[in-house]
Amino acid sequence: MRTSGILLPISALPSRYGIGSFSKEAFEFVDQLKKGGQKNWQILPLGPTGYGDSPYQSFSTYAGNPYYIDLETLIEEGLLTKEECEECDFGENLQYIDYEKIYYARFDILRKAYQRFVPDADYEAFEKENSFWLDDYSLYMAVKNSFGGISWSEWDEEIKRRKPEAMEKKRVELSDEIRFYSFQQYEFTKQWKKLKSYANENGIRIIGDIPIYVAFDSADTWANPQLFQFDEEGRPIAVAGCPPDAFAATGQLWGNPLYRWEYHEKTGYQWWIQRLDYCFTLYDVVRVDHFRGFDEYYAIPYGDPTAEFGKWEKGPGLALFQAVKKELGELDIIAEDLGYLTDSVLKLVADTGYPGMKVLQFAFDSREESDYLPHNYPHNCVVYTGTHDNNTVLGWLGEMAPEDRKFARHYMHNSKTARKDLPWDFIRLALASVANLAIIPIQDYLCLGSEARINIPSTLGCNWKWRLNPGQIDDKLIEKMRDMTKLYGRLPADKEA
């Protein structure tokens, strides 16, 4: 079935109190998607973020970001007052998130809610059901705070090494702080599942996003060092990234620890099976980031200042996904297969049967034919005008080489369209393609420029901040969105009239 959807991170919703959350504005966005004839809402990873605020560098592969807990819901539950929330300084700029202010204010206000919270049977059931990750995460965060926020690799040796006596001592010393972090995850999960249920009831699927890697400073690496390429001192042997290319002269140094794939193979890939199983309790579809890393991954020596001297190593390949399928059945996965693709990567994607990604911003190189041009698409793919790592279409048009822009106009037969209106032509191109699924970032429907870009890879300090303003999505835009969705046969069957 041909469908379409919108890419919008939770953080970018126009909620009150400084950052997007599971607020009434999130439920209103679901209503807007439904009215606009959309079937899918794609988000970014939901995990708690650390330095750099990247959702792809999370303290846990399971935990949720406490920033997304809706404070107005906590007010309704009697855990906070409106006055307490309004006294906090979450930042004044409606268009951009002030993460420093959010960090200092959000945990203080959540602590007030926690102090009034009375655990009940639902909470106890949540703790029991999620103990396989929650116990380690809550202890990890409590210990991390007790050491002033430093990475676990710098903790005292006994707790760093998870000696039983040290673990038990910390559980007693930090029991209240541990419960505080468990409370956050309970509220996050309760609110998120209510929002997801509302979306599903209104015919909207949630497309989640999971990074292939976990952060070095995370509960996952501390609790399960055997899964990663660490030396005897707990330091990475090599780290993840991408080699030099036309976009980055010295490559991209992500710094994530790499997996010890031979260990994963011996366990029947149980860690991955459990991870994906949990993801499908949160999302309806999962986009797996950096899919090519399962075929071959780029290993950069730990401590190198750039990604120039890494080398390609063999990943688990199809065996991982065969194990997942045997255990969990057919899963609705999107393979993020962007970048330089070798024959073996292409074969892996084909063998899994997962749809790959096509990005229109990669299509218009006047020097050569491109697989990203719509006339080359298979049905089994997902087309985007751009992703969270791209500029907006309007911003990108201003950066294009003149000959590439001329080629794009010629391809779309729109030489007279004003540049400010060109994003709609690219949306039309995506929706008209044979791709089974088309996803459009909301910034492109709004024809916004570079000021609305989500992320510039390999940079810090300017990313993950953009937000919608209240009222920016209006009835006129929704109607135009719906009309174009219907025109190209992507309207849900019950909305054809």
Catalytic residue among 304, 365, 371, 389: 389
CB 436 within 8 A of CB 379: yes
Q: Catalytic annotation on 336?
A: yes
CA–CA gap between residue 92 and residue 186 (Å, rounded): 29
CA–CA gap between residue 467 and residue 441 (Å, rounded): 12
Catalytic residue among 70, 72, 177, 336: 336
CA–CA gap between residue 204 and residue 41 (Å, rounded): 7
Residue 472's Cα: distance from chain center in Å?
23
Catalytic residue among 289, 295, 337, 444: 289
Indicate the pairing of strand 311-314 with strand 296-301.
Answer: antiparallel
- State the CB neighbour count (10 A cutoff) for residue 432: 16
Q: Catalytic annotation on 289?
A: yes
Write out the chain in H/E/C secondary structure: CCEEEEECCHHHCCCCCCCCCCCHHHHHHHHHHHHCCCCEEECCCCCCECCCCCCCCECCCCCCCHHHCCHHHHHHCCCCCHHHHHHCCCCCCCCECCHHHHHHHHHHHHHHHHHHCCCCHHHHHHHHHCHHHHHHHHHHHHHHHHCCCCCHHHCCHHHHCCCHHHHHHHHHHCHHHHHHHHHHHHHHHHHHHHHHHHHHHCCCEEEEEECCCCCCCCHHHHHCHHHECECCCCCECEEEEECCCCCCCCCEEEEEECECHHHHHHCCCHHHHHHHHHHHHHCCEEEECCHHHHCEEEEEECCCCCCCCCEEEECCCHHHHHHHHHHHCCCCEEECCCCCCCHHHHHHHHHHCCCEEEEHHHCCCCCCCCCCCHHHCCCCEEEECCCCCCCCHHHHHHHCCHHHHHHHHHHHCCCCCCHHHHHHHHHHHHHHCCCCEEEEEHHHHCCCCHHHCCCCCCCCCCCCCECCCCCCCCHHHHHHHHHHHHHCCCCCHHHCC
CA–CA gap between residue 444 and residue 139 (Å, rounded): 42
CB 425 within 8 A of CB 412: yes
Q: Catalytic annotation on 389?
A: yes
Active site residues: 289, 336, 389
